[in-house]
Amino acid sequence: MGRGGGQKKEGPSLEIKLGPLMLKNPVMAASGTFGYGEEYAGIVPLGNLGAIITKGLSLEPRKGNPPPRLAETPSGMLNAIGLENVGLKIFLKEKMPFLRKARCPVLVNIFGARAEEYAELARKLSEVEGVAGVEINVSCPNLKAGGAIFASEARSVHQVVSKVRRATSSFVMVKLSPNVADIVKIARAAEEAGADAVSLINTLTGLAIDARTRTPILGNITGGLSGPAIKPIGLRMVWQAAQCVRIPVVGMGGIGSAEDALEYLIAGATAVQVGTAHFIDPKAGMKIVDGIQHYMRVNDISNLTELIGSLKVRRDSGPVA
């Protein structure tokens, strides 16, 4: 009741259940685009986000790729950072004290060159106060399988997720690569191996060339394409995956506005991640939260679950996923 005796109207609920996790809203900051949270803390109240996903972490520190590491493209960017990071020890000592105080769940994005490394990271992180779970980045060369990325084969995804599942009872989300022929097969492998959720899409491999010098623009030659240019691919893959797995699907790729995020939810995503847009506007994520709430109010939607997977398609149209 308000002071004047009037009824206080409750806003629509943005709360969402992601496997065992309860999020206050479905908008997360994507790995590698939000640092370790601290970099954005003076500008964005981190508690306004559904969750933060930290920069990819390996057991040992990594220097990353030679420069240049970024190239602008029409409607997007290419990056070849090379998973530079501080390594587990420094992360725990220098980054976690701040993250522990962030008023939203913290998920740690992890990677390794062997399934055992992923499992060791997951096990060690499960003992750390303030870590809500891990996001496994399988877009990493599998040394045991001769250097092909884990993400490209259902068998290696299954192997790495099973090992991580045995190592932790905390939340495990598997981040899938779009650089595969059949996303459904890979999503199913992650689910069968015990993942609590899948997130997609990571960046698409691309190449930028300087025609004057006839050289690649990036020091690493190729890089990962992100931003608005990849949204239709992300939407298609999320839509396909969401129809084929029972675990929640978290969508990303080119989300820069509430409308983009809503499209992903309608395609079947339970939550979304905002990446490249944070480089243009650090407040992009929290503005998207407000925009989703506004849309729900205007359209008289009281609960997000009414939106998720609500894409209307004629049964006789489109490809079979």
Ligand X SMILES: Cc1cc2nc3c(=O)[nH]c(=O)nc-3n(C[C@H](O)[C@H](O)[C@H](O)COP(=O)(O)O)c2cc1C
Instruction: Cite the active site residues.
Output: 140
Report 280-319 residues binding ligand X (CB under 6 A).
Answer: none
- Phi/psi at 273 (nearest 5 deg)? -125, 145
Strands (E), the chain: 16-18, 21-23, 27-29, 51-53, 70-73, 76-79, 106-110, 133-137, 171-175, 197-200, 204-207, 209-210, 215-216, 222-226, 249-251, 271-274
- For residue 223, CA distances in Å to 66, 119, 140, 212 come to 12, 27, 13, 20
Tell me which of 226, 240, 270, 293 binds ligand X, using CB under 6 A: 226
The reply on whether position 109 binds ligand X by CB under 6 A is yes
CB 73 within 8 A of CB 206: yes
The reply on whether position 202 binds ligand X by CB under 6 A is yes
Other C-beta atoms closer than 10 Å to the C-beta of 68 total 15
The reply on whether position 252 binds ligand X by CB under 6 A is yes
Tell me which of 25, 58, 65, 137 binds ligand X, using CB under 6 A: 137
Tell me which of 242, 245, 255, 271 binds ligand X, using CB under 6 A: 255
Residue 52, SS3 per DSSP? strand
Nearer to ligand X, 133 or 254 (CB): 254
Nearer to ligand X, 139 or 168 (CB): 139
Tell me which of 12, 26, 50, 56 binds ligand X, using CB under 6 A: 56
Site string for ligand X, 169-188 (x = CB under 6 A): ------x-------------
Tell me which of 16, 30, 208, 269 binds ligand X, using CB under 6 A: 30
The reply on whether position 33 binds ligand X by CB under 6 A is yes
In Å, the largest CA–CA distance within the chain is 73
Nearer to ligand X, 256 or 268 (CB): 256
- Phi/psi at 40 (nearest 5 deg)? -105, -5
Pairwise CA distance, residues 31 & 314, whole Å: 36
The reply on whether position 253 binds ligand X by CB under 6 A is yes
Tell me which of 58, 156, 177, 203 binds ligand X, using CB under 6 A: 203
Q: Which residue is nearest to ligand X (CB)?
A: 32
The reply on whether position 276 binds ligand X by CB under 6 A is yes
CB 271 within 8 A of CB 23: yes
Catalog residues that contact ligand X under the rule CB under 6 A.
Answer: 30-33, 55-56, 79, 81, 83, 109, 137, 175, 202-203, 226-227, 230, 252-255, 274-277
